[in-house]
């Protein structure tokens, strides 16, 4: 394999794998938070989880879609 191809391919594969792992960890974390929030009586924790989740979805939208928000 050409060295210039290796210089591009290895970081690209590492970025794809790390992104996939982070998306899985994010999903697990928010699933845990939603279950925990459902058990509480207050609404402040619902607001906090919503505020934390919205920026990550918005940032993902700006990178992946061609919607008007991008």
Quick: pLDDT tens for 9-60: 999 999 999 989 988 998 898 888 888 888 888 888 777 877 777 665 555 5
pTM of the predicted model as reported, rounded to 2 decimal places = 0.59
Per-residue confidence (pLDDT) for residue 66, from 0 to 100: 55
Q: Which residues neighbour 46 within 8 Å (Cβ) at sequence distance 6 or greater?
A: 37
Q: Can you give the residue ranges of every domain in the chain?
A: 3-64
| Average pLDDT estimate for 53-69 | 56
Per-residue confidence (pLDDT) for residue 42, from 0 to 100: 83
Measured between its terminal Cα atoms, the distance across the chain in Å is 37
The beta-carbon contacts of 15-18 under 8 Å, at least 24 apart in sequence, are none
pLDDT-derived band at 70 (thresholds 50, 70, 90) equals: very low
């Amino acid at each position: 394999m050409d060295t210039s191809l290796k210089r591009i391919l290895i970081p690209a594969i590492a970025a794809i794998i790390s992104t996939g792992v982070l998306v899985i960890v994010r999903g697990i974390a928010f699933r845990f938070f939603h279950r925990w929030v459902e058990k509480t009586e207050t609404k402040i924790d619902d607001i906090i989880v919503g505020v934390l989740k919205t920026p990550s979805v918005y940032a993902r939208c700006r990178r992946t879609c061609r919607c008007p928000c991008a």
